[in-house]
Chain A
C-alpha cells in the first residue's frame, strides 16, 4: 500500500474542498467591493454567515495533513512562502472577525465591510501568489528552503495572484445567484461574466508564462500532453459558457460551472507537480513521514470524514433556500 500516495490524495481532497467552499466565501467578500448598497452587502454576507467557519477549517486540515504526512515538505514550503502565508492569515483573520464585529455596530458597519472585503481579497491574492510560486519552483538544499523570501515577488506568482480572486469571484457570484433574492440577481450575473473572463485570460497567461520559464513544468506537461489538452479544452468551454451567461438560467448552473472551472484548474495543478510535493526538488516519497504517522492520520480521516461531510451537509440543509431578507438576527 503506497501510503504517501494515499496521504497526498487526502491532502488534495482537503485542499480541493477548501478551494471550493471557502472559494465562494472569499468570492462574496471580494464582490463586496463592488456593491455600494449597504443592505445588499448585508444580504451577501448573510448568505455565507452560517457556514463559513466549517468551510475555512479545510485549509487547516490541509496544512496539518502536510505537517503530519509530509513534514519535510511542510518545513520547506512554509518558510519559502513566509510572507504570503502570513499576509493570508492576517487577511483571513480580518475576514473572520468582521463576521462577528460588523453586526455589533450599525454606524461603523461599512468599515467592517471594507475589512471583510480587503481581508478576503488579500487572502485570495496570497493564495494565488503561493500557487504561482509553486509553479515557478522552490529552491531547496539539503531538505531545507534555500531561496529568498522575495522569490514570491516575481511575474508568474503575481499573475496567478491576480487571477485567483477572479476565480473565487465566479464562485461567489454563482453562490449569490443561488441564495439571493431578485434584487441581486443582475449583480450576480454581471459578476460571474466579468470574473470568468478575467480569470480565464489571466490563468491562460500564467500557464503560458510558466511554460516559458520553468523547464520542469514543460517536461511534465509534455509527458501528460493529452490529459492536459483535454483539461485545457474543458477549461475553455466552462469559462466561455460563464462569460456568455444568459440572463435567465437555472440558478444552480453558474455555480456548478464555476466549481467545474476550479476543479479543472486544480487537476491541472496536480498533474503539473506530481510526483513532486515540493516542485521541482522533493518527491512525495522523499518528504513523507514514517508509516505509523501517516496511518494514524489516514485511519482517523477514514472514520471521521464521512461524519464531517454528513453533518456539514446537514448544516447547509438547515440554512437551505434563499437567504432571508432580514438576515439571521433575532427579532429582539
Chain B
C-alpha cells in the first residue's frame, strides 16, 4: 500500500496529539479543582474535603503522568515528522515553547512531588502552596502553547525572506489575532471537563447509594461550576467564531456545510450532510429551516457564505470540519441544558433524588473530553491545507523520512498508547469502584509555615496524644 508520506506524517501527528490533549485537558481542570478543594479543607477543616482531595488526587496523578510523557513526544515530533515546518517556524514558536518549558513545565514538575507525596512531610499550608503552583503551572502551560498554536492559525509579527522567518515583533507573535480568544476557550473547556467528570462520579455514587456525603458534595460542586462555565463557554465560543470568520474564513465556511458562495435565504442550520468535495456539493443534507440565518447571521433571512468562496486548492475537507464542529456544538448545547436542569432541580430541592438526572450526569462524565477533542479537530483540520495559515502548506512541511518508517512508528505509537489508556481506564474505574477512603478524624488542617520547614508526620502516635484537635463547626 503506497501512501503519500505527508498523509502518514499527518495521521501520526494527529494520533499522538489527539491522545495527548485528553490528558492536559483533564489535568488543567482537576488541578484547579484540587486547589479549590484543598482551600475549602484548610478553611472549614471538614474531613470530607480531604477525602475528596485524596480521591481525585490519585486519578489526577495518573492522568498528569500520561500527559507529560505524551507531551514530550510532541516537542520532538515537530522535527521528526515535520522538519521543514520546524525549520521555518522554529524562530517564532520555538521561543514560545521554550518559555512554556521554563515557566510552566518546571513549575508543575517541581511541586508535583510535594503535592503527591508531601502531605505527611510538609505542613498543610506549604502543601496547599504546592497544589496551587501545579495548578498555575497548568494554566501557564496552556497559555504558551495556545499562543504558539494560535500563531500557526493567525500568524503575525514575522517577516519572511527566502523561506526564512524573522520575528520583527514579539508582541505580535505572542498576542496574535486569535490567542486571546482561544486561550479562555481552551481553559474553560478544561474546567468544564473536570466539572462533568467530578459531577458524573458523584452521580454514580448517588445512584448506587454509596458514599453519600462525598457524592452530594462533589455533585453539587461539579454541577454548579459546570453551569456557570458552560454559559461562559458558549459566549466565548461565539466571539471566537466571529474572530475566525474574519481571519480564517475557509474554516468557518467548511464548518457550516454550505457550498454556494451565497447560500439560500433563509438558510437552514445543517445537522447532517454527505459532502462531495470533488463536485463541490452536498449529495444529501438535513437541517432546521431558518435556524441557520438566525444563528449565523442574526437575522431571519441572512445568507451564509459557502466553501466555494475559497479557491479549490486552498479548501479544507468539509466533512471533517463540519462534523467536528457539530459534535462540539451539540455537546455544548447538551451541557447547557444539563446546567439549566441542575439549577431548576436545585430550586425545587430535588437535585440529589432525580434519578433521571443522575443518569444523565453519569452519561455526561466524558462529555468535556469529547467536546474538546472535536473542537481541536475543527481547529486543525479547518486550517488545512495550511500548517502556518497563509504561509506554509502542510504538504511542504514534512521531513525527509520515508513512508514505511512513518507507518511503522505510527503503529508503534498506537500499540504503546493503547496500553497506556487501557491501564488508565482500568485503574481509574478501580479507584471509582473502591470509592473514597475514610479519612482519619484526627487529620488536622492547621499549621504554620514555620512548621513546614521541619518535616513531620501528621498522624504519628506522639502527636495524637499531645495535640488538641480543634474542630470549627
Contacts and interface: CB of A to CB of B under 8 A. Distances in A.
The answer on direct contact between A and B (beta carbons under 8 Å) is: yes
Interface of A: 49-51, 53-54, 56-57, 59-61, 63-65, 67-69, 71-72, 74-79, 82-83, 85-87, 89-90, 92-97, 99-101, 104-105, 143-146, 149, 289-290, 292-293, 296-297, 300-301, 304-305, 308, 311-312, 314-315, 318-319, 328, 330-332
Nearest to A321: B455
Interface of B: 54, 61-62, 65-66, 68-73, 75-76, 78-80, 83-84, 86-95, 97-103, 105-114, 116-122, 166-168, 170, 399-402, 405, 409, 412-413, 416, 420, 423-424, 427, 430-431, 437-440, 455, 459
A289 B431 CA distance: 49
Contacts of B420: 93, 97
18 contacts: A53-B65, A61-B98, A61-B106, A68-B98, A74-B79, A77-B79, A79-B83, A83-B405, A90-B416, A96-B68, A97-B62, A100-B61, A104-B427, A104-B431, A293-B91, A297-B95, A300-B103, A330-B54
A64 B73 contact: no
A92 B72 contact: yes
B428 to A, nearest CB: 9
Chain A CB count within 10 A is highest, among B80, B102, B412, B427, for B102
B88 to A, nearest CB: 8
Q: Is the interface of A mostly helix, strand, loop or mixed?
A: helix
Given A71-B86, A99-B65, A149-B405, 12 more contacts: A56-B68, A74-B86, A78-B83, A82-B405, A104-B427, A143-B87, A144-B400, A290-B166, A292-B166, A296-B99, A319-B113, A330-B120
A85 B409 CA distance: 11
Contacts of B416: 90, 93-94
A94 B437 CA distance: 29
A244 B312 CA distance: 72
Contacts of A94: 416
Contacts of B440: 332
A331 B64 CA distance: 23
Contacts of A57: 101, 105-106, 109
A136 B321 CA distance: 46
A43 to B, nearest CB: 14
Contacts of B424: 101
Contacts of B427: 101, 104-105
A64 B97 contact: yes
Q: Which 10 A-B residue pairs are closest in the complex by CB-CB distance?
A: A71-B90, A68-B94, A78-B79, A50-B113, A75-B87, A54-B109, A53-B109, A96-B69, A75-B83, A328-B117
Contacts, number: 238
A129 B90 CA distance: 25
B435 to A, nearest CB: 12
Given A75-B90, A82-B405, A318 B122 contact: yes
Nearest to A296: B95
B441 to A, nearest CB: 13
A64 B399 CA distance: 17
Contact of A292 (B88, B114, B168): B168
A48 to B, nearest CB: 10
Nearest to A93: B69
Nearest to A288: B91
Given A63-B75, A94-B416, A144 B83 contact: yes
Contacts of A56: 68, 72, 109
A71 B91 contact: yes
Given A296-B170, A319-B113, A60 B75 contact: yes
A75 B400 CA distance: 10
Contacts of B102: 61, 300-301, 304-305, 308
Q: Is the interface of B mostly helix, strand, loop or mixed?
A: helix
Given A53-B68, A104-B427, A104-B430, A79 B95 contact: no
A103 to B, nearest CB: 9
B95 A82 contact: no
B79 A67 contact: yes
Given A49-B113, A74-B86, A60 B101 contact: yes
A315 B121 CA distance: 11
A236 to B, nearest CB: 35
Chain B CB count within 10 A is highest, among A51, A59, A87, A97, for A97
A227 to B, nearest CB: 31
Contact of A101 (B79, B105, B118, B423): B423
A255 to B, nearest CB: 19
A82 B80 contact: yes
Contacts of A145: 83, 399-400
Nearest to A304: B102
B167 A86 contact: no
A231 B73 CA distance: 34
Nearest to B97: A64
A132 to B, nearest CB: 19
Given A60-B101, A300-B99, A90 B412 contact: yes
Contacts of B70: 93
A311 B459 CA distance: 27
B119 A69 contact: no
Contacts of A293: 90-92, 94-95, 167
Contacts of B438: 332
A137 to B, nearest CB: 17
B109 A318 contact: no
A306 to B, nearest CB: 11
Chain A CB count within 10 A is highest, among B70, B119, B423, for B423
Nearest to A71: B90
Nearest to B398: A79
Nearest to A88: B76
Contact of A79 (B62, B88, B399): B399
A64 B114 contact: no
A78 B81 CA distance: 9
Nearest to B399: A79
B72 to A, nearest CB: 6
A331 B54 CA distance: 12
Nearest to B92: A293
A61 B100 CA distance: 9
A85 B83 contact: no
A296 B168 CA distance: 12
B83 A315 contact: no
B423 A68 contact: no
A50 to B, nearest CB: 3
Chain A CB count within 10 A is highest, among B79, B86, B420, for B79
Nearest to B133: A311
A187 B30 CA distance: 40
Contacts of B168: 292
Given A61-B101, A67-B86, A79 B401 contact: yes
A87 B408 CA distance: 11
A67 B78 contact: yes
Nearest to A148: B402
Nearest to B112: A53
A83 B105 CA distance: 26
